[in-house]
A and B are shown apart, each in its own frame.
Chain A
Amino acid sequence: MIRQTAAELAAKIHRGETTSVEVTQAHLDRIAETDGKLNAFLHVDTEGALAQARKVDEDVAAGRTPASPLAGVPLALKDVLTQEGIPTTAGSKILEGWRPPYDATVTRKLKEAGIVILGKTNMDEFAMGSSTENSAYGPTANPWDLTRIPGGSGGGSSAALAAHQAPLAIGTDTGGSIRQPGAVTGTVGVKPTYGTVSRYGLIAFSSSLDQAGPCARTVLDAALLHEVIGGYDPMDSTSINAPLPPVVAATREGAQGDLSGVRVGVVTQFSGEGYQPGVLRSFEAAVSQLKELGAEIVEISCPSFDYALPAYYLIAPSEASSNLARFDAMRYGLRVGDDGNRSTEEVMSLTREAGFGPEVKRRIMIGTYALSAGYYDAYYGSAQKVRTLITREFEQAFTKVDVLVSPTTPTTAFKIGERTNDPVAMYKADLCTIPSNLAGNCGLSVPSGLSDEDGMPVGLQIMAPALQDHRMYRVAAAYEAARGPIGGASL
C-alpha cells in the first residue's frame, strides 16, 4: 500500500476500496519501522492523524463528496510551518517545547482538504542548510544510502517520501530547500511562484525568498497538492491576488507525451567545473529525451547567474538577522539563565547563545554586518542590484524560451559530515536553484535517473516565469512518463 501514489490512494479511499485509517496506519507503521534509521520526523502525531483519517472515512461512508481530490491521504509537514497545538521547532533548540496557538494558512488548507498530517519533519535549523545536518535534533539519513545526506533544508520531507513514510510532503524553498532534497532523494519537489502559496505561519528565514511548496514522488501528486495549498491569502501581504496557474490540467496534458512547440532553454552557466560528471550525463540524457518529445532545445546564457550565490548569501542572512531577532526568551521557547539576578539582556544573550546552532549564528552575524551603517550600500544594496539583474536576465531568456532547464544540484547526495566544515562547499549545493528564488519565479525538480558513478538519484530542474508554473508541470509530466521508473530507495 505504501508504494502507491497519492492519487491512487485517494481514488481507492474515495471509492471505498480502502479507508483513510488503513492508509494512515500503514504509513504510521512504516514510520515506526524505519524512522530509527532515518530520523525524518521530529514529531509524529499518531492520534491526530488517525482522528483526521476517521473523519474522512465518515464522509466517504456517508456518501459525502470528499473535501478534495487528496482527502484521506497522509502527508509529512516540514517543521517550519505552524500547526495549532503541535510542537513546532523549525529544527532549532530555541523553539523546543513551543506549541503554536495557530495554524499556518498552508496547514489550515491541508486540514480543510481532508489531508491527514502524520507529523512534523526534520530540517536544517531555520531552513539554513543543504543537508539537514544543521538540525538541532540530529541529521536525517538518505533512504538510498544511509551514510549520505537527504538534502536540505527539507531533508526530513524528502527522506519521508523516498522511504515511503508518506506519499506527500510539504517543503519550503528559500534557495533550493525543496528542489535540492527532491533531486538527491529521487523525488519531485516544486518551488511555486513567490506569492502564490501563503507564507502566513511559515517561520521566516528570508521573507523575500521563502516559499512553501509541494513534495511528492510523482509530478501529478505534486500538482494535486499544489492546488490544495496555493492561492491568494489576505493574511500574507506578499500573496498575489491572481488565479492559481492550472498545474493539474497542465500535468495531465504533459503526460500525453507531446512537447512539440515547447521551447526549452539550457542554461549554459550551470555546467563545467564543480559539476559531477554523472550528474551532467544524466542531465544531457534528460535534455535528449525532451527533444525526442518534440521540444525545441536552445542554449541560453545568463551571465549574472554567476553572482546569484554571493548575492543570496547577503540578502538571505540580512533578512534572517532581523527575522530571528524575535527569539529572545521573552514570550515563548527556550529561556536560559533566568536565575532572578540576571538582567533581561543577559538572559536574551544566554538564550540565543545556547539556543541557536553555529550555522544560524554565522548567518545572523553576516546579516547584521551586511545591514550595518557604512556597509549597507556595499553589501545589501549591491546584492539587491544583482537580484534585479538576475530578474531581467530571466525575463530576457523567457522571451526566447518557455522554460529553462539545468541540473537541480551539481552533485548527487554527499556523505554525512563531508561538507560540515566547509560552509562554502555546502552553499554550492544551491548554485542552480537560487536564481529562481531571487527572481521570484518558479522551479521544479523531477528525478532524471541515477548517476552512473554512484547510483544515487539526480534531479532535472525546470524553471518557468512567475505565474507560469503550469509550463514546468507540463514539461515535467511529459518527461516523467517518457523516462519510466527510476527504481526505489534501498531502505
Chain B
Amino acid sequence: MTALSELMDYDEVIEKFDPVLGLEVHVELHTNTKMFCGCANVFGGEPNTNTCPTCLGMPGALPVVNATAIESAIRIGLALNCEIAEWCRFARKNYFYPDMPKNFQTSQYDEPIAFNGWLDVTLDDGEILRVEIERAHMEEDTGKSLHVGGATGRIHGAEHSLLDYNRAGVPLIEIVTKMVPGTGRRAPEVARAYVTALRDLLKALDVSDVRMDQGSLRCDANVSLSPKTTGELGTRTETKNVNSLRSVERAVRFEMTRQAAVLESGGKVIQETRHFDESSGSTSSGRTKETAEDYRYFPEPDLVPIAPSREWVEELRGTLPELPWERRKRIQQEWNLTDEALRDLVNAGAMDLIAATVDAGAKPDEARSWWVSYLTQQANTRGVELADLPITPAQVAQVITLVNSGSLTNKMAREVVTGVLEGEGEPDEVVEKRGLKVVSDDSALEAAVDEALAAQPDVAQKIRDGKVQAAGAIVGAVMKATKGQADAARVREIVIARCS
C-alpha cells in the first residue's frame, strides 16, 4: 500500500507532467448463449451449471462462433465509427491460468473485426473531446477464481481456490483507445467521461447489460506521465479491478499522483498491472510485466475466417439506433434548450427520464418541470439518484394527463406523486385511496359560492360594484369550504357570474 506521503500534490503533478491515458474496456455481450457453445449466458447461477465440453475445454471439444456476437461486434464497431474488416480471424492467446479451461483464450490479434474509429465524449462543462479508437475485437471471457482463506481474497496467501466456469466462454468485446494525450488536469475526468459515453452507447445498442458492478463492463486504465521538461513518453501502468465510473476517475488520479512521486524521487515507474482498491482509493502492484509476456498468438485453426459481406455491414448500419449524442442534439432542438440547460439535465440524470415521460404522452415543458423541481426535491430529501426514485416516467405522464384534463389541481397532483413514491400504487389508485377529486359539479360550486357571498355581503357588494379583484376573497372561502378540491378558475368564473 502506498502511503499518502508518497503521493505528489495534484497541482504539482500537473505543473510537472503531462498525463497520457489509454483505456481498454471489456464488454460482456448479453447474447442468449456463449461465444463458442450453446450454454446459457446468464449472470449468477449455481457454479459450474452453465457448462459443456466446449467451454470446459474438454479434450476433443470444438468451438462454433455465435453469429449474434459477430453481429453485435459489427454494430459496436459501426457505432464507434470504425472500419469493419472485410476478412478477419480469431487467434489463440496462449498462457496458463486455472480459470481458463483451454489455457489459451480465443481472441483476435492482428486482425480485429473493427478498427480506426472514434467516440465523441462530453466533459462535465459541455466541452466535446474526440477519443480515437484503435480497435474493437471479439474474445471469450474466462471463468472465475474464488480464493479462499487469504487475507486479501487474491491468489497470494490463499489456502485454496474454487473455480466457477459459468462465465468461461461468455462473449466479450474489447474496445481499445489510441493513446489519449493532452488532457492535463482533466485526465481523470476524461477517463470517466469516456467510459460513461461508451456505456451509454452500448446501452443504446442493446448489446450488453453494461453493469460495472456485475462485471459486464470492465475498464483497465493505462496511465503514464510524460515530464514537461523532456516531453518523453513515460512507462505506463495498467490498473484493473476498476468497478465503477467514479473508480475510473479515482484510479487515474491516484496513479498520476503515485507515478509523479516515484519519478520525482528519482525512481522508475515499473511497467506492471496494478489493482485498484475501492475502499482506500489506491492501487497496488499486481503482476510485474518487466518483459512483455509472450502470448504466442497464432490464427485459431479450429475456426474459419470471418468475412462479413459489405451488404450485411450496411444492413447492420441500418439497425443502429439513435445514438446517445444524436439523441441529445435532437432533444435539445425539440425542447428548445440552451446548451447549459441541456447539460444540467444530462448531469442531473434527468434527460432520459424526461424523454421517457414525453414518450409516454407528456409535453416536454411539463415533464421537465416535474423532474427538475418536485421530483428532484424528493430525490434530494430521500438521498437517492433521480432515476432510483420509485416512480416511472409513465406514472409521471399519467399524473400530468390528470392535471390537464382538470381532474387534479397541481397541488393534488403533487399529493398523488407523493402517494406513488410512498408505495400506494398507481396514480389512479392513489387518487381513489386519498379521495383526491376536483369538485367539478357546477351546482355544488354554485351553492358554495352563494353561501360565501351571503357570509360576506360587503365583499359581494364590492364585486357587484365592479371591483372584480375582490372576488379573490370569495374564491378563497369556497376553496377552503371544498378542501381545495375545486378548480379555482372555475370558482372565480361562477363568483363573477353570480354578481353581475
Q: A residues near B, CB below 8 A?
A: 81-82, 88, 90, 95, 98, 100-102, 104, 199-204, 206-208, 234-238, 318-319, 321-322, 325-328, 330-332, 344-345, 348, 368, 371-373, 376, 380
Contacts and interface: CB of A to CB of B under 8 A. Distances in A.
B298 to A, nearest CB: 6
Contacts of A330: 98, 101, 163
A325 B96 contact: yes
A376 B61 contact: no
A81 B60 contact: yes
A101 B54 CA distance: 11
Contact of B92 (A203, A236, A322, A344): A322
Contacts of B303: 237-238
Contact of B96 (A318, A348, A376): A348
A331 B101 CA distance: 8
A463 to B, nearest CB: 22
Contact of A328 (B61, B62, B103): B103
A325 to B, nearest CB: 4
Contacts of B302: 204, 207, 237-238
B430 interface: no
Given A200-B61, A200-B62, A234-B64, A326 B304 contact: no
B98 A100 contact: no
Contacts of B185: none
B294 interface: yes
Given A234-B64, A235-B64, A325-B94, A373 B294 contact: yes
Interface residue SS majority, chain B? loop
Nearest to A201: B60
B298 A326 contact: no
Contact of B304 (A202, A237, A328): A237
A344 B64 contact: no
Contacts of A331: 56-58, 101
A238 B304 contact: yes
A326 B301 contact: no
A104 B60 contact: yes
Given A237-B304, A344-B161, A368-B296, A204 B57 contact: no
A325 B301 contact: no
Given A100-B60, A200-B60, A237-B63, A325 B294 contact: no
Given A201-B61, A322-B94, A332-B59, 10 more contacts: A101-B53, A102-B61, A237-B302, A321-B296, A326-B57, A328-B103, A330-B163, A371-B94, A371-B297, A373-B296
B294 A90 contact: no
Contacts of B297: 371
B62 A235 contact: yes
Contacts of A207: 301-302
Contacts of B144: none
Given A236-B62, A325-B103, A345 B96 contact: yes
A217 to B, nearest CB: 27
Nearest to A367: B296
A24 B304 CA distance: 41
A318 B296 CA distance: 9
A207 B58 CA distance: 15
B178 interface: no
B293 to A, nearest CB: 10
Given A88-B59, A326-B59, A344-B98, A371 B53 contact: no
Given A237-B64, A372-B294, A332 B94 contact: no
Nearest to B292: A373
A19 to B, nearest CB: 33
Given A100-B60, A202-B60, A376-B298, A326 B102 contact: yes
A322 B298 contact: yes
B104 A325 contact: yes
B104 A328 contact: no
B205 interface: no
B60 A82 contact: yes
Contacts of A208: 301
Given A237-B64, A330-B98, A371-B94, A101 B58 contact: yes
B499 interface: no
Contacts of A368: 296
B494 interface: no
Nearest to B163: A330
Given A322-B92, A371-B94, A199 B62 contact: yes
B459 interface: no
Contacts of B63: 237
B345 interface: no
B303 to A, nearest CB: 5
Interface string B79-112: 0000000000000101010100111100000000
Contacts of A203: 59-60
Interface in B112-135: none
Nearest to B165: A331
A272 B98 CA distance: 51
Contacts of B64: 234-237
Contacts of B372: none
B431 to A, nearest CB: 58
A404 to B, nearest CB: 25
B60 A322 contact: no
A322 B94 CA distance: 7
B394 interface: no
Nearest to A126: B59
A326 B63 CA distance: 14
4 nearest A-B pairs in the assembled complex, by CB-CB distance: A325-B103, A371-B296, A207-B301, A208-B301
Most buried by B among A104, A325, A331, A373: A325
A450 to B, nearest CB: 37
A345 B97 CA distance: 8
12 contacts: A101-B58, A201-B61, A207-B301, A207-B302, A208-B301, A237-B65, A237-B304, A319-B298, A319-B301, A331-B101, A332-B59, A344-B155
